[in-house]
Structure 1
Amino acid sequence: MSQPDGFKVAGKENLVCRLKKSLYGLKQSPRQWYKRFDSFMLGQKYTRSQFDHCVYFKQLADKSFIYLLLYVDDMLVACKSKVEINRLKVQLNKEFEMKDLGEARKILGMEIQRDRVKGTIHLTQQQYLKKVLERFGVGKGNSKPVSVPLAPHFKLSASLSPSSEEERKYMTNVPYASLVGSLMYAMVCTRPDLAQAVSMVSRYMHDPGKVHWQAAKWILRYILGTVNLGLKFEKRISVDHLVAGFVDSDYAGDLDKRRSTTGYVFTMAGGPVSWRCTLQSTIALSTTEAEYMAVTEAIKEAIWLQGLVTDLGVEQEHVTVYCDSQSAIHLAKNQVHHSRTKHIDVRFHFIREVIEDGEVLLEKIGTVDNPADMLTKVVTGVKFKHCLDLINMRQV
């Protein structure tokens, strides 16, 4: 480490300090902290998940599990037995300075609401979103709520970036990146309904124009009317606990490079646990090809999720992924390379092996019943509400 100001040794300014242990603020500090915590948990006979190295678990004598989830220095412990939870807390307290916040009600800005009678859990970000609305001056007194995150009249493209010095000067005073970053955090944690809209506005962070700013503010108006919308998970019969995925694509929806959009959402216990809306890395030459590439991304996520839930003690023979394109399903199940598919990058064809081995089932679903539709394009208010119902997103 460089000698800190006020502690430099005269005549030895070119020398550095050798650290005996890590300090806050250094690049290696988070890594050193994780290594220390990891060795402690493994020493307590916990197993680190192969699929997420911040998830630790141990099977107890009664065949139930205790789980610990780590995010930097925030922890969440889950177990059926309070005795086991308290035992783990005592062990942690002996090793580290820690503060016990009791029953989990809030973590990383996400609020946890439980109803033990109905067997439901809600995850929301009401307080966080209210602060975001207040910060950017959006309230019911001065803004009218809207029913969808992005309206059809927003045709966003790079051509809408500032073209005059006056507009460029105006945009330098607009907190565009700050707003999009705030929206992105909500979208990543509890709001898959924002994924498509946030994906659109985040493409122009480097050079946003007035229309891009209007689109970002439109998302705030949508949040104003849905600030208490969140994820709902239900204790159901075991078959509904299985992971299931829905995938869709929008062909050549990007106005700049004509790339297609991939959208998928995976549900477990009735609520969404993983979702994504992103531009495809290459330009698809047909709707079938765009859907096929989207299915590939969804199946990679399905393999990872299946591994994770298996680690956590949930036995699942295979994950079912639902796609509304019959031609993409045939292409994934057919081993023959013909003239229409030989140009598709080889990395997209691995799904044929996965499907043949039975690790993932690829099934047809009607477009009407595919919630991933809202992740790939702007849809009507009625369709959008239907998609939210399909993945069990509810007002709390």
Structure 2
Amino acid sequence: MLVFATHDEDLASFKAAMETTYDVNDSEDASYFLGLELQWSPSGDEVTIGQQKYAKSILERFNRDKTMPARTPMEERFRDQLFKAQEVINFRPRPAIGALLYLTVNTRPDMATAVRILAQEIETPTDCLKHGVEHVFRYLRNTQDFGLWSAMLSRRRGTLSSTTAA
């Protein structure tokens, strides 16, 4: 568990409460946590949270690491095309859309609408759905280094990590 606090007293109070139940280890320089990559500014006042390794791995997994990059997560008026009646094809979109959903939930809200629209059509895959999934992968290839940025968190205030034996 990573805990960030604005005030040292709040962090100390929370840490004391957690230590009554769990083994707690202090970790000043968290850089990787549950698949999330934390990149701190030199001053420690800003952090970028991303999933660059995961993005690269899913591009490779679905053989999309060498495709032409796209500038947007979805083509203009794509949704209109998607909902027109089309022939169902032999295409399994579930693994690809699941991998993309994991990204959107954690660090990539820029792709959320496109992936959500594609996920709605997962039961009846069409050529249009396949094209949409491929387009999102092309966008991901162009933006795989994107992440969330915050100036609100501070490494200097300290982080707290906790592990428990299950």
- 1:181/1:99 CA distance change after superposition, 3 Å: farther
Q: Supply the AA of the counterpart residue of 2:74.
A: L
C-alpha RMSD of matched pairs (Å): 2.8
Q: Distance in 1 between matches of 2:128 and 2:62?
A: 17
Please state how far the C-alpha of 1:87 moved relative to its aligned partner.
Answer: 8.2
Query: Which TM-score applies when normalising by structure 2?
Result: 0.75
Query: Which TM-score applies when normalising by structure 1?
Result: 0.34
Unaligned runs of 5+ in 2: 154-166
Please state how far the C-alpha of 1:225 moved relative to its aligned partner.
Answer: 0.9
Q: Supply the AA of the counterpart residue of 1:137.
A: N
Are the aligned partners of 1:78 and 1:85 in contact in 2 as well (CA < 8 Å)?
Answer: no
* Larger RCO of the pair (alpha carbons < 8 Å, separation 6+): 2
Number of residue pairs aligned between Structure 1 and Structure 2: 148
Pairing 1:20-169 to 2, within 5 Å after superposition: 75-79=1-5, 80-81=7-8, 84-85=11-12, 88=15, 91-92=18-19, 95-96=21-22, 98=23, 100=25, 102=27, 103-117=29-43, 119-140=45-66, 143-152=67-76, 154=78, 155-157=81-83, 159-162=85-88, 167=89
- 1:183 is matched with 100
Are the aligned partners of 2:18 and 2:24 in contact in 1 as well (CA < 8 Å)?
Answer: no
Please state how far the C-alpha of 1:108 moved relative to its aligned partner.
Answer: 3.2
Choose from 107, 113, 137 the match for 1:196.
113
Pairing 1:130-279 to 2, within 5 Å after superposition: 130-140=56-66, 143-152=67-76, 154=78, 155-157=81-83, 159-162=85-88, 167=89, 170-171=90-91, 174=92, 176-234=93-151
Please state how far the C-alpha of 1:211 moved relative to its aligned partner.
Answer: 1.8
- 1:101/1:81 CA distance change after superposition, 3 Å: closer
Identity %: 26
Name the SS for the 1:112 alignment partner: strand
Name the SS for the 1:232 alignment partner: strand
The structure in which a higher percent of residues are strand is: 1
Larger radius of gyration: 1
Q: Distance in 2 between matches of 1:124 and 1:212?
A: 27
Q: Distance in 1 between matches of 2:62 and 2:24?
A: 33
Q: Supply the AA of the counterpart residue of 2:111.
A: L
Unaligned runs of 5+ in 1: 1-74, 236-268, 270-396
